[in-house]
Every structure is written in structure tokens, then in C-alpha cells.
Amino acid sequence: MPHTPDTYEDDDLDRIPAPKPVHYAEQALLGALLLEPQRLAETGTLDAGHFDSHTHAALFTAIRAVPPPDPDDHAKDTTWLNAVLEQARPHAPGLSASYIHALIQFCPQSKHAAAYTRLIRADHARRTLSRHAERLARTATDPTLPNPAATVLAEADALGRLLDDLAGQFAPHPGSLPRTPPPAAVTYRSSEEDLDEERLLLATATAYPAEVQQMRWLTAEDFTLPLHAALWQSVTALVHRGDMVDPVTVLGEAQHRGLLTDSLTPKDLMALVSTPAGSPEYWGERILQRALLARAHAVADRITAYTDDPANTPHQLITGSRRALAELNSLRTRWNRATAPAPSPAARPQARPATAPRAGPPNRPALTAARAHR
């Protein structure tokens, strides 16, 4: 009676992934080297780490380790092939003599060994770039890091160095930009803690506007809530114009910007900017760091989308990834400005003392009194 395949057997077969193109490139290269060992010189700096298959990597290592045979002797017997098999088998127990001979049959043209090598190196570059992007994304969302911004930027630097290295290995060509559609933007779900930090920034900025003058490194796009971003623009507009800043004047600016609605009354808005705590710089850095981490994760997602698309050439991956990384570097510049240590008193230029008005001694700035109650 003929055997009827069980449903579960069919399911198991369906779940077996088809070999990737690089699998056949590795087979072809190994077949070429087993057939004509002298072509090993055509592989350049290729090493076992470039192979996707562990078995293929072990076999390539063995081919490099066993001294090449005399071409005439190699054409007559399998002595060298047996030596390669014995060298590789401890590292790849499943390797067999039949697979060695099958690889030779799989090779279309042994004289194309250099072309097979380039295909293997290209796929290795894709996999390596994908791992770096995955590491960047994981770091950007790790809540246990003591200094998340510095760690993320270090990962970004490592990714940049990888791209520089790959750029030296693969020649540019026309159409260097990936045609991969960018991934859909992930809507950041702000927590109540995130929103509280933004509210506290708005309140402290209203209370201490003089400090806002030095916070040009923070922009509206760094906020998670559009209303808070618009209110930050209202406060900074008053500060940069040199106008008076307090809850009432912020309310007036917000009114002119069309921010008042049925759900945001004047009373609500004034209450939002009337409860300061801490300093604007502190809350601003917290918000900017969160924006930096979110941008890093978005960059990682974009690079992953490029590496997941097999249609992209190595040079397209390099160009697209560099452009994505540049978006993070622009935010890095603002982060460095925000966190740069203040110059020491000795390094600061000596300011000329202000001339006192004739009516009496100069008034002490209101900011001093305000800080005394913080």
C-alpha cells in the first residue's frame, strides 16, 4: 500500500527554509578549490569567517591548512581530498567524502572562483551590517544602561567604522542608493514619566527664561507630544524676542499660535506652565536623550530594512546606511552641545564691569532671587 504523507510531515517540509543564494556561491567556490587547489590564490583575503555555513567554513579552513598537491598527482588520485576531509571532519562531523565529491560537481566553472569569492564577501558584508544594526537597536531600548546616550553613540561609531571599512572593499557603481522602501515610522508611545518631564521643562523654562537662551540645542521635534512641542516654541519665541516670560505671556503667545481649544482652556495652560521644579537644562537633557535613543532605533530599523532586501548591492547598503547614520549624527551634535562641560572660570574671558546708573547701584537680577527659592 503506498505511503500517504502525514499532514505533520508536510508541515515540517514546508518549514525548511530554501537555501540562500550565498549557499550556492559557497558550494561553487569550494568545488573549484577542491578541483583546482591552486585557485586558492584567487580568493584574496577571504577567510572562514566570511562563510555563512559552518561546514563550508570548516572545509575552507582545511583547504588552506593542507599543503596544495602537485596538479598532475591531484588529477590521478584522491590523496589530497582525503587529507582535506580528515582535517575538516573534527570541526564539521557531518562532512562526508560524498559531499566533497558533490561539491566538485556543483561547481559550474572553476575558473570563476574569484567571482564566487566576491559573492561570498558581499553576503558577509550584508550579515555583518545587519548584526551591527540589530545591536544598535537593542542598545537604544536597553533600560538597564547607566549611560544610554554614550553607549548608543559608541555603537553608532562602531557602525560608522564598519561602513568605512566596507567602502574600501566594494567599488561604487551607478544607482548607489537603495530602492528599498523605508520602514513605516514607529509611533513612539510616550509614558507618563516622559510627559511629566516635558511638563516640568515647560514650567521651569517659564520660571527661569534666562536659562532657555542657552538651550538652542533643544528643538520642538524632540518632544513626544505635539502640544508640548508647540508650547516650547511659544516659550522660546518670547525668550528670543526679549519679551517678558511668565504664565500669562506664555498664554498670550499660545493663543496667537492657535493652541487653545475646548480641551485646553486658558486655565489649564497656565496651570501646566506654573509648577516649576529643578532646572530647564536638566529636563531638557532628559528629553534630548530620549529623542537621541528614539532616533538611533529608527536608524537601526532603516538599515535593517536595507540589509533584509537581497536586491541591494553592497555599495547600495553602504550608501543608504551612511545616509541613515547621518540623521543620528545631526542629533549627536546637539547632544554634545547640551552636555559639554562649562568652561572653567580661568578660561572664561573677563567681562568689562557694567557702568552703574547715576540713580544708584545696579539692581540685582531677578533670576538670582528666583533661584534662591528653587
Pick the CATH number of 125-177+192-338 from 1.10.860.10, 3.40.50.2000, 3.40.605.10, 3.40.50.720: 1.10.860.10
**175 pLDDT higher than 90:** no
pLDDT tier, 12 (very low <50, low <70, confident <90, very high otherwise): low
Measured at the alpha carbon of residue 99, what is the angle toward residues 94 and 105, in degrees to the nearest 5? 165
pLDDT tier, 1 (very low <50, low <70, confident <90, very high otherwise): very low
**345 pLDDT higher than 90:** no
Q: What is the pLDDT of residue 18?
A: 85
The lowest-confidence range among 2-6, 294-298, 309-313 is: 2-6
* Residue 10 to residue 193: CA distance in whole angstroms: 50
The C-alpha cell that represents 223 in the structure block: 518632544
Q: What is the pLDDT of residue 185?
A: 72
**67 pLDDT higher than 90:** yes
Find the helix packing angle between 148-167 and 314-339, rounded to 10°: 150
**Which residues does 295 contact at the CB level (< 8 Å), separation at least 6?**
327, 328, 331
Q: What is the pLDDT of residue 295?
A: 96
Task: For 203-243, write each residue's pLDDT tens digit.
Answer: 999 999 999 999 999 999 999 999 999 999 999 999 999 99
**357 pLDDT higher than 90:** no
**330 pLDDT higher than 60:** yes
* Residue 123 to residue 129: CA distance in whole angstroms: 10
Q: In which region does residue 361 sit, left (phi positive, over 0), alpha (psi from -120 to 50) or beta (all else)?
A: beta
pLDDT tier, 174 (very low <50, low <70, confident <90, very high otherwise): confident
**25 pLDDT higher than 90:** yes
Q: What average pLDDT score do residues 255-259 get? A: 95
Domains in the chain: boundaries: 17-108, 125-177+192-338
Q: What is the pLDDT of residue 171?
A: 83
Within 10 A of 4 (CB to CB), how many other CB atoms are there?
Answer: 7
Task: For 29-55, write each residue's pLDDT tens digit.
Answer: 999 999 999 999 999 999 999 999 999
* Residue 317 to residue 176: CA distance in whole angstroms: 8
Q: What is the pLDDT of residue 7?
A: 47
CA distances from 158 to 46, 120, 165, 195 (A): 22, 23, 11, 32
Q: How far apart are the first and last CA of the chain?
A: 89
The C-alpha cell that represents 173 in the structure block: 557603481
Q: What is the pLDDT of residue 367?
A: 32
More confident residue, 342 or 132: 132
28 with 107: CB under 8 angstroms?
A: yes
103 with 31: CB under 8 angstroms?
A: yes
What value does the mean pLDDT of the chain take? 88
pLDDT tier, 15 (very low <50, low <70, confident <90, very high otherwise): low
Taking 3-state DSSP, the helix, strand and coil percentages for the chain, each rounded to the nearest 5, stand at: 65, 0, 35
**348 pLDDT higher than 50:** no
Q: Using the 8-state DSSP alphabet, how is residue 364 labeled? A: P
Q: What is the pLDDT of residue 369?
A: 32
Task: For 76-121, write each residue's pLDDT tens digit.
Answer: 999 999 999 999 999 999 999 999 999 999 999 999 999 999 999 9
State whether residue 264 is helix, strand or coil: coil
Residue 273 phi/psi, 5° resolution? -105, 20
pLDDT tier, 187 (very low <50, low <70, confident <90, very high otherwise): low
Of 98, 123, 107, the residue nearest 33 (C-alpha): 107
**350 pLDDT higher than 80:** no
